[in-house]
Structure 1
Amino acid sequence: MPHTPSPRRSRRSLLRAAVLPSAVAASLVLAPLPAAFAAVAGPTAPGTVRIHDIQGTTRVSPLAGQSVEGVPGIVIGVRTYGSSKGFWFQDPNPDADPATSEGVFVYTGSTPTVAVGDSVLVSAKVSEYYPDFAGGSQSVTELSKPAVTVLSSGNALPAAVVISGRNVPGHYAPPTTTGSIDALTLQPEKYALDFYESLEGMRVEVDNTRVVGPTDAYSELWVEADKGDQKSKRGGALYEDYREPNSGRVQIQSLIPLAQQAFPKANVGDELTGATVGPLDYNQYGGYTLVATQLGALQDNHLQREVTPQASDREATIATYNVENLAPTDPDSKYAGLAQGVVTNLRSPDVVTLEEIQDNSGATNNGVVDASATVAKFIAAIKAAGGPTYDWRSINPVDGKDGGQPGGNIRQVFLFNPQRISFTDIPGGDSTTAVDVTGTGEATALTASPGRIDPTNPAWNASRKPLVGQFSFRGKTLFVIANHFDAKLGDQGIDSRFQAPTRSSEVQRVQQATVEQAFVAKLLAADPQAQVVSLGDFNDYQFSPALATLTKDGVLRDLVNELPETEQYSYVYQGNSQVLDHILVSPEVGSAKYDVVHINSEFAVQSSDHDPQVVRIRP
């Protein structure tokens, strides 16, 4: 898993984050947040400040930290759930500057007493709310500690701005020499982030849009407002380059009570037909988000889960599957769903490398590191689904040293079908002993199988160490490396106020790739004909420095690059279909038939957040 979920500004818990008391906020002192604001007498007449004056022409209000009196507008949306309660209101009389938004959020801290269509006057303090200041998020200009007067009700709402390929710029973020884009004058006609910022807090609309990120557990999904963005074969939005993060992606949440209208359960490639309308918000996990007061109708386009082609008897099949923190306490339904994926969709591969197998006590942090119960339950589920009786090998990590969910002690595991392929057991492998290469030519072997590659190297601090095993298929030796590289935790988002965003976690993955590439090079130096398959969750893209390092000098080739461009993805995050999982092979593996089997990442109902993948080879 490349990201760890935290409370968002959605239906889950909506904990407030950092509110900077001024535009400069040099001291970075956080403003106190009262649980609710006492009733204050509302303004009786309009003041001189309008919403576009508050929003200004940059991301940070020119009035941040100041109080404003009698700001007029029409209520366009009310949020009554979570701790970020409040309402949006918009000036029906805009100025002539496209860079200045005419809407703004009023943070009440308790259930608002206004309704959509109310004409109101608001006196409040202007503030900049950073959902994740330390993480690089942009800010939301807000009015806090408000006093509100309702002048009339049932007023017509300002016309929504339709977001489409006609007005979303193809360039995503403005260039900067200072890092932060906060102080740059918005150019909404040139840059997508500026375009969305110029509409912050305003009523917007998307029409007949394609779903590019499935509905999640928190009633959120992603749509593609710009049909010009690169489309995947199955309807997603392909993430192909750091410079092109698909500018038309918009997250959809809902302000409509669930009792009135259930949030659509959508898969990638489905459509929201008609108009979806509501205020444009911003949050750290979705970036710019349309919080709907009107939802389009779901058109189910019947996305099907893929089944990989049948292998011939002479082909060895090797697969990888991140099973998302699998623990014995998980419901039988999760085991059954994962098992069905192995048996039906992957067609019971000869070898399956698993990532994120937790120990026997799951996330309970009690010193347990053994995972035999977790693996046994999964093997039994595969058997019950009609698959073979797999055997397995792994190495227990040192407690708390491999990262992941605290207490879970996630690790990689080899499952293998002993009726089809044999595992070469070589004693000596443990959590801290480095595996090495011995012999030359056809006698080349590992010093331990299973073994771990340089496990005490600092490159693997708080991260999973590669697990390498030696197999025999029809008398031919195969070396298989199961990987789960360092996660993307701590990276700045693509919508960050810092451009280009810093990918701090990338440094460690490059170090890890350097270590593994050297090991594979040593193996190939001993036997240039050695057949090596390195696979797993590398937590990085096919165009990343880590993958370039891993494939340096041609010791391995990344098979995802040999797929048609529209099929190059294994994970969907923030509406981007992207590659995190890979299968790489050494030069001697010439006739590799590779398949990413899309059964999870595009679907609202998932057994894991990753798609598995498989390669068929003839050793």
Structure 2
Amino acid sequence: MVSRIRKLGVLTCLAVAGLACAVPSAAAAGADLMITEVYGGGGNAGAELTRDFVELGSTASASLDGFSVQYLPGSPSASSKWQVTPLSGGIVSGGRYLVAEAKGAGGTVELPTPDAAGSIAMAATSGTVALVRGTDPLTCLTAVACAADSRIRDLVGYGTAAVREANPAAAPSNTTSVSRPGLVDTDDNANDFGVGDPNPVNTKGETPGNGTPPVEARIHDIHGTTRISPLNGQKVAGVTGVVTAVRTFGSARGFWFTDPEPDNDPRTSEGLFVFTGSSTPQVAVGDAVTASGTVRDFYPDNPATSVYQSMTELASPQWTVVSRGNPLPAPTVLTPDAVPAALAPQIGGNIESLPLQPDKYALDFWKAHESEVVTISDARIVGPTTSFNELYVTTKPAENPSMRGGTVYTGYDRINTGVLKVESLIPFSQRPFPQANTGDVLIGITSGPLTYSQFGGYTLEANVLGEVKDNALAREVTRKQLPSELSVATYNVENLSAMDAQEKFDQLARGIVENLATPDIVTLEEIQDDNGTTGVGDGVVTADKTLRRFTDAIVAAGGPRYEWRQIDPQDLTDGGAPGGNIRTAFLFNPARVSFVDGPGGDAVTAVSVVTSNGKPHLSVSPGRVDPTNAAWRSSRKPLAGEFVFRGRTVFVVANHFNSKGGDQPTHGRFQPPTRGSEVQRAQQALLLRRFVDELLAVDSHANVVVAGDLNDYQFSPALQTLTAGNALIDLINTLPVTERYSYVFEGESQVLDHILVSQAPRQVDYDVVHVNSEFAQQASDHDPQVVRLIPIG
């Protein structure tokens, strides 16, 4: 199968979109008889089929007596000659005609019985094939000359072919062909042909292997009643339906069609996606089509190891438009009660073989409506527009709403099943994707087929897209600390390096000054080295330029001249973007607080607790917590610092635990999903807690602040370790549930960032300052937070 990324690309020259395309003047002599597929990899290394072939098709019954198929190398010289295979017999309307060519030494699968045979050894990746009225070899060697030859009924150049219609088709390979999925010819090979699995069909409808004709099937037969099609991998024919949507751009083009005569089983979808690769399907919404092809349960990665769900589709397709302008089947209206509250059966494994229960489980409901048209109206946006031109809405407005219009994630077993991703099938040149913030509303009807993506799960691919009502969500501003209060903030600044544009520094600086009200201490996460990711393994680990630009920007924004403390990591040891050498760091306002510098801290020296006059202090400051422990492998090490505020010592630890990369998705085929990354965070939390316990063992009234991006939820094992026995208080839990979030992922407002404090400080006042995660325009993908407190001494 041809791999592809299911993201929408740039609109190209598409006749279907009404754009102008160059067409050779003589190429449209016979639109009824055409080349439908070319494969030159037969018998080559890696090929399954033993022979090359050319397949023909026609929109009307026609005789091929006296015709020929001819081949020219992709880069012809002056001495190049066309090779000829004569044809005989005929072809019926909508049928196929198979011409076998040279047989190679490899492959294991024979073609079905060909209707004509030759011995032309076609190149796998580049060449030109012509359907010619007559058997005399052509003499033209250029695209212009061939366009003027009236004997040529159709011509296909692929790869780097010099002789082609307006543009050559993409290059196939030993294992792929170029094929015309529909019997439509726009005289642009690039537009009409896509690359995909070889699918030779003869006049009897036979396909490779045992010669058995395809299975006659309806769409609901193809889907069946589980997540995997009962016809997966089989060729089907006679599949009927009405086209409901077309994807005309990107690398995963195709169309959706729906059977207007459904069965009575709510488990079986009546919609199907027809995948045409990079070829734009020449169909329109309302066309009634009859299709054939190979049923595939498509995974975005290796099917044997994928953690995602599959999407059932028709690959290597062929179809005939039977009629146009037909009424569309009624869509499924997503009311607040439509999607079940329970996510999926929690069996501790793969749920693909289980019978669907769409009235009981949300993932089953979505799968039972896969590729059908679904409709929402006046839907609240719960995840802002991303850089991938997508946003998230909720079909359940009463489901765990946040105070600002999002949907709050409150527990592993409490997935918000009303959340749905929305993308657009409308070319962005016609309508740019809307820029929306959390809490805005997608007014009116939004409608389109339902698909599945590894990025966000089930997705409404809108060919009808509502308008965004801006609800004027404001970026929050916290209050200024009182003179008697120490304020400590934490901020993940998303891979900040000296190589970034000044605008990013300025936005982050304004956040420090205006939104966070110039905290006394700021723990920073994702500070990169001075050349960021531009130098991988170059030995550059310093971050002075990065931090200097940041502190200069804060001054320019009207803030104080912060000082910084940090420890350079060893090169390529702390994870993050390759070459970036991200680390945590402290900023502090020397006019308000002093830093106790204890020399000796470096990347591998562990900070320890020492006692002086019965009080705890740090052996090195700043210092890293147990940095050589295996728990920190390829991860950031906590940075501990000793501060003094109004004569009182305060210990602050800046953190950035390992990421959630590698965890199984909540919408995947394994339920419940395995959260493998939790193991390392649990180990990291244990080491951090031991360090805090050492401080509190010397002085149970020590002022301790643990802050940063812990990459985990307030109900996770890691946070349970840190808060056990109430030695540390996770301040996120002191907020109302509707305010417990610092990050928005796939439409779920959730907690990744934390500030924890020991029992000693008084008058603790805590605030998550929502300035990023809910907005399409962000300085970072995390929201900062701040605590104001009065240390005891």
Q: Given the two structures, how large is their TM-score scaled by the length of structure 2?
A: 0.73
> In 2, Cα distance between the equivalents of 1:335 and 1:441?
43
SS at match of 2:504: helix
Partner of 1:28: none
> Which structure carries more relative contact order (alpha carbon 8 Å, separation 6+)?
1
Once the 2 structures are TM-superposed, how far is the Cα of residue 259 of structure 1 from its aligned partner? 2.4
Pairing of 1:82-231 with structure 2 (within 5 A): 82-109=250-277, 110-132=279-301, 133=303, 134-176=305-347, 179-231=349-401
> In 1, Cα distance between the equivalents of 2:5 and 2:775?
21
- The aligned amino acid for 1:49 is A
> In 1, Cα distance between the equivalents of 2:493 and 2:175?
40
> In 2, Cα distance between the equivalents of 1:61 and 1:432?
54
> In 1, Cα distance between the equivalents of 2:715 and 2:633?
24
Pairing of 1:166-565 with structure 2 (within 5 A): 166-176=337-347, 179-364=349-534, 365=536, 366-439=538-611, 443-565=615-737
* Gap regions ≥5 residues in structure 2: 12-47, 49-172, 184-200, 206-213
SS at match of 1:444: strand
Identity of aligned residues (%): 55
Once the 2 structures are TM-superposed, how far is the Cα of residue 591 of structure 1 from its aligned partner? 2.1
Deviations, residues 407-436 of structure 1 (Å, cap 9, x unaligned):
000001100000000000001110001000
Pairing of 1:36-55 with structure 2 (within 5 A): 36-38=178-180, 48-55=216-223
Moved more, 256-265 or 532-541: 256-265
Deviations, residues 72-122 of structure 1 (Å, cap 9, x unaligned):
011111112222111111111111111100011111112212222211111
Moved more, 123-132 or 282-291: 123-132
> In 1, Cα distance between the equivalents of 2:345 and 2:603?
47
SS at match of 1:335: helix
* Gap regions ≥5 residues in structure 1: 1-5, 15-20, 22-30
Once the 2 structures are TM-superposed, how far is the Cα of residue 380 of structure 1 from its aligned partner? 0.7
> In 1, Cα distance between the equivalents of 2:488 and 2:580?
26
Once the 2 structures are TM-superposed, how far is the Cα of residue 135 of structure 1 from its aligned partner? 4.7
Partner of 1:18: none
> In 2, Cα distance between the equivalents of 1:441 and 1:295?
69
Which has more radius of gyration?
Answer: 2
Matched, 1:10 2:7: yes
- The aligned amino acid for 1:129 is F
Once the 2 structures are TM-superposed, how far is the Cα of residue 175 of structure 1 from its aligned partner? 2.6
> In 1, Cα distance between the equivalents of 2:8 and 2:558?
40
When the two structures are aligned, how many residues end up with a matched partner? 598
SS at match of 2:355: coil
SS at match of 1:615: strand
Moved more, 220-229 or 548-557: 548-557
Task: Mark the CA change 1:119 to 1:410 in structure 2 (over 3 Å): closer, same or farther.
Answer: same
SS at match of 2:293: strand
SS at match of 2:692: helix
> In 2, Cα distance between the equivalents of 1:12 and 1:522?
55
Deviations, residues 435-457 of structure 1 (Å, cap 9, x unaligned):
00000665310000000000000
> In 1, Cα distance between the equivalents of 2:312 and 2:356?
14
Moved more, 545-554 or 190-199: 545-554
SS at match of 1:237: coil
Partner of 1:26: none
Instruction: Check the 8 A contact 1:276/1:292 in 2, yes or no.
Output: yes
- The aligned amino acid for 1:389 is R
Coordinate RMSD, CA, aligned: 2.1
Task: Mark the CA change 1:266 to 1:153 in structure 2 (over 3 Å): closer, same or farther.
Answer: same
Task: Mark the CA change 1:568 to 1:39 in structure 2 (over 3 Å): closer, same or farther.
Answer: closer
> In 1, Cα distance between the equivalents of 2:357 and 2:597?
63
Moved more, 106-115 or 509-518: 106-115
SS at match of 1:339: helix
> In 2, Cα distance between the equivalents of 1:154 and 1:521?
73
Partner of 1:79: 247
> In 2, Cα distance between the equivalents of 1:395 and 1:351?
17
Once the 2 structures are TM-superposed, how far is the Cα of residue 36 of structure 1 from its aligned partner? 4.4
Once the 2 structures are TM-superposed, how far is the Cα of residue 257 of structure 1 from its aligned partner? 1.3
Deviating above 4 A after TM superposition, structure 1's stretches of 4 or more consecutive aligned residues are: 38-47
> In 2, Cα distance between the equivalents of 1:441 and 1:401?
38
SS at match of 2:533: coil
> In 1, Cα distance between the equivalents of 2:649 and 2:400?
41
Instruction: Check the 8 A contact 1:164/1:248 in 2, yes or no.
Output: no
> In 2, Cα distance between the equivalents of 1:379 and 1:433?
27
- The aligned amino acid for 2:276 is T
Matched, 1:603 2:771: no
- The aligned amino acid for 1:575 is G
- The aligned amino acid for 2:664 is Q
Deviations, residues 495-526 of structure 1 (Å, cap 9, x unaligned):
01000000000000000000000110011001
Instruction: Check the 8 A contact 2:182/2:320 in 1, yes or no.
Output: no
SS at match of 1:439: strand
SS at match of 2:695: helix
Once the 2 structures are TM-superposed, how far is the Cα of residue 10 of structure 1 from its aligned partner? 2.1
> In 1, Cα distance between the equivalents of 2:719 and 2:399?
25
Once the 2 structures are TM-superposed, how far is the Cα of residue 34 of structure 1 from its aligned partner? 3.7
Instruction: Check the 8 A contact 1:595/1:613 in 2, yes or no.
Output: yes
SS at match of 1:525: helix
Once the 2 structures are TM-superposed, how far is the Cα of residue 227 of structure 1 from its aligned partner? 1.9
Instruction: Check the 8 A contact 2:772/2:778 in 1, yes or no.
Output: yes
- The aligned amino acid for 2:526 is E
> In 2, Cα distance between the equivalents of 1:434 and 1:264?
50
